[in-house]
Structure 1
Amino acid sequence: MRRHHLVLAALLPLVLLTGCSAAGSISMDPVSNADLADHASRDAPPSDAEPDPEARLIRDAIRNGSATIEGRSAPVEADLPFAYRGSYYDLSWTAIGEREATSVDLEADYNASNVSANRIAYDDLPEVDRRALDALFPPRHDPRADGYDLGVGATYTDAEADRSVLVPTQEYDAVVYDGDAYPVRVSDVHPVTLTTYRYTSTVVANDSDAYARQLKDEHLFTLGDLNESERAVVSEATNGSYYAESTDDSAFRGVLERFRAHDGDAVQYEETRGSWVVRYNGTVYWADLSYAQFTDEY
């Protein structure tokens, strides 16, 4: 069995401000323990959220210690811990089984003038086909002038395909919904493997103070030894954001070098951006850096 642990490797999307064309940027937000825990966590889906499978999986794994789900890939990958009722939880998954299935694309044409007589009422479709077509009916989009207007992907297990009138062989060319007939096209039929994943939850911390202490113990470093121009960059970053307009910005590069010297301390580290917990002039900050045009130098 394969086990993958979801660790603090990828953070909430970094703030992409209006200077997205800049060669680099830095923002530094002063954080309390509660702020720091909030930056480095995701909210678990609430009980009254839409009942999508991923939300249910997360809630069940946290509440019950584990939960299973089937899919073509692990639906909840490495990311931040989940905040749930004041505590923080990591999720890890194990692949515990596989089976073969069929993947298809389903498309509907909402304004066809000539519709095949080979049609079936939506309510007469097998449940597996109604579920697959649920995103297409009732029509939710304005039709285009010609052709198929909307498509969705669907996956049928072998047992579901045996009950289907659309997969693997399309027996009807159109679906009648509320008295109107719409052409339906089935395409890109191909085999896939469905994997059953068991997710297990682990308590990271029982409250925000404990989680913030962990983050500081593991990631905090002190930013110092800056020259005057570098301090000006940091000053602007602590009051919003600083943008480096080109790679000729030596002051930004100097600040970036200080952070990149602590790549191992980053809470998030990617090829073009990262997030750090840093102390500067006695204050703890959450720092987001973007450095896409500076990456050739590292």
Structure 2
Amino acid sequence: MDSLSRRKLLGGCAAGLLAGLAGCSTDAAMFVETVETPTAVGRKATDGPEREPRDSDRAELVAAAVNGGTNRSDSYGPPYQPDRPVVHNDTVYTLSWSEATRDTSRTEHEIVLTVHDDDRATDAEFADLPAVDRERVDPRMVETAVRRVEDTDEEFPVDYGARFYWPPAEREASALVPEPQYDTIEIAGQPVELSVEPTTVSLDVYRYTASERASSVAAFGRKLRRDHRFELSGLSKPEREFFDRVRSEGSFYKGSFDDVPDGAFKGLADHFVAEPAIFVENTTGEWLTRYDGTDYWVEIDFVLLDEYEQRLHAVESL
């Protein structure tokens, strides 16, 4: 389940925001994936191009950290905080970061979209904007503003504001900053006036460095197999039938809607929380287990099961 964040899905379900979507009213969730080779194990335990192939900023940051270290600035904290080792050119590294003793600033732009609902003339359409602008000003902003009118007593025109950063090179290609070239643009079928205001934002500076952990993803996977894999055995018949089902289907969401005996999930979960997880983050643990001669990567998110969350514990070191 890579295209939609598991945690976002579960968080939305727990809040009751995605009624009708599989996994809503979820007490817990389990994901099981076969990992037949050391490379497959290593990829599950690292963050690299396979996970975010289109994130060029992240790849550049990791490459720079490997090649002597790099600084990155952000107003919201470290821009990249992986929860596991990272991969660069098939070598596995531990990425470290710390706040530098200095800070910096940059110019960002407050964009206010004033959405109208009339037949006034427009100067351009959204598709006419350069790519650097379309990547920031999303038609969903206008759609959200329209829904505000539909769902409340608010009336047109309605404003939607957001702040964005255009690097200097992209600023030169922009039709919106530093001054908009158009007064009114058709976006999502609505005439939209734009106003732009520059603002200076203070940024913290973070120093990133990297230290080698393994010469290859496969070598890292072999180490995890040797040090942290455990044999899943001693299951009761209901537990075994349940795990067979989950490994076949790939995932399971536990809640009032499921058709699995309560004892089957909890009994199986007991086997996992008794073992140190390779990774623990909030309510989630990840394990490497061997079952019936095959290796599996198992992730369990104990969304609402506090008694299991409290029993999660991680390996002392990778």
- Give the TM bin, normalised by the shorter chain: 0.5 to 0.7
Aligned match of 1:127: none
The Cα of 1:203 is off from its aligned counterpart by: 1.6
Secondary structure of residue in 1 paired with 2:78: coil
CA distance in 2, matches of 1:138, 1:269: 34
* Deviations 1:29-52, CA, capped at 9 Å, x for gaps: 221212111212222499x9676x
CA distance in 1, matches of 2:108, 2:136: 22
CA distance in 1, matches of 2:29, 2:255: 9
User: Is the contact between residue 32 and residue 247 of structure 2 (CA under 8 Å) also seen in structure 1?
Assistant: yes
**Greater Rg by CA:** 1
The Cα of 1:111 is off from its aligned counterpart by: 5.6
2:139 matches 1:141: yes
Secondary structure of residue in 2 paired with 1:76: coil
Secondary structure of residue in 2 paired with 1:34: helix
User: Is the contact between residue 107 and residue 198 of structure 2 (CA under 8 Å) also seen in structure 1?
Assistant: no
Aligned match of 1:288: 299
Aligned match of 1:276: 287
User: Is the contact between residue 107 and residue 148 of structure 1 (CA under 8 Å) also seen in structure 2?
Assistant: no
TM-score (norm 1): 0.65
Q: Aligned residues, how many?
A: 252
CA distance in 2, matches of 1:280, 1:188: 59
2:156 matches 1:153: no
2:271 matches 1:261: no
Q: Determine which of 190, 202, 205 is the counterpart of 1:196.
A: 205
The Cα of 1:110 is off from its aligned counterpart by: 6.6
Q: Determine which of 79, 84, 87 is the counterpart of 1:80.
A: 84
Aligned match of 2:219: 210
Q: Determine which of 92, 98, 106 is the counterpart of 2:103.
A: 98
Gaps of 5+ in 1: 1-11, 116-133, 157-171
TM-score (norm 2): 0.62
- Alpha-carbon distance change, 137 to 22 in structure 1, aligned in 2, over 3 angstroms: closer
User: Is the contact between residue 184 and residue 194 of structure 2 (CA under 8 Å) also seen in structure 1?
Assistant: no
* Deviations 1:129-154, CA, capped at 9 Å, x for gaps: xxxxx637997638677446654324
- Bigger proportion of residues as helix: 2
CA distance in 2, matches of 1:227, 1:139: 55
- Alpha-carbon distance change, 105 to 139 in structure 1, aligned in 2, over 3 angstroms: closer
- Alpha-carbon distance change, 147 to 91 in structure 1, aligned in 2, over 3 angstroms: farther
- Alpha-carbon distance change, 55 to 242 in structure 1, aligned in 2, over 3 angstroms: closer
The Cα of 1:212 is off from its aligned counterpart by: 0.5
User: Is the contact between residue 26 and residue 303 of structure 2 (CA under 8 Å) also seen in structure 1?
Assistant: no
User: Is the contact between residue 88 and residue 205 of structure 1 (CA under 8 Å) also seen in structure 2?
Assistant: yes
Aligned match of 2:33: 29
- Alpha-carbon distance change, 55 to 149 in structure 1, aligned in 2, over 3 angstroms: farther
Q: Determine which of 107, 113, 128 is the counterpart of 1:108.
A: 113
Instruction: Report the identity percentage.
Output: 25
The Cα of 1:285 is off from its aligned counterpart by: 1.0
> RMSD of the TM alignment (CA)?
4.4
CA distance in 1, matches of 2:135, 2:302: 45
Aligned match of 2:244: 235
The Cα of 1:177 is off from its aligned counterpart by: 3.0
User: Is the contact between residue 106 and residue 187 of structure 1 (CA under 8 Å) also seen in structure 2?
Assistant: yes
The Cα of 1:186 is off from its aligned counterpart by: 6.0
The Cα of 1:243 is off from its aligned counterpart by: 4.2
Gaps of 5+ in 2: 10-20, 121-131, 147-155, 167-177, 186-191, 311-318
- Alpha-carbon distance change, 224 to 153 in structure 1, aligned in 2, over 3 angstroms: same
Aligned match of 1:220: 229
CA distance in 1, matches of 2:73, 2:214: 29
* Deviations 1:81-121, CA, capped at 9 Å, x for gaps: 222222222211122222467876332337699x9xxxxxx
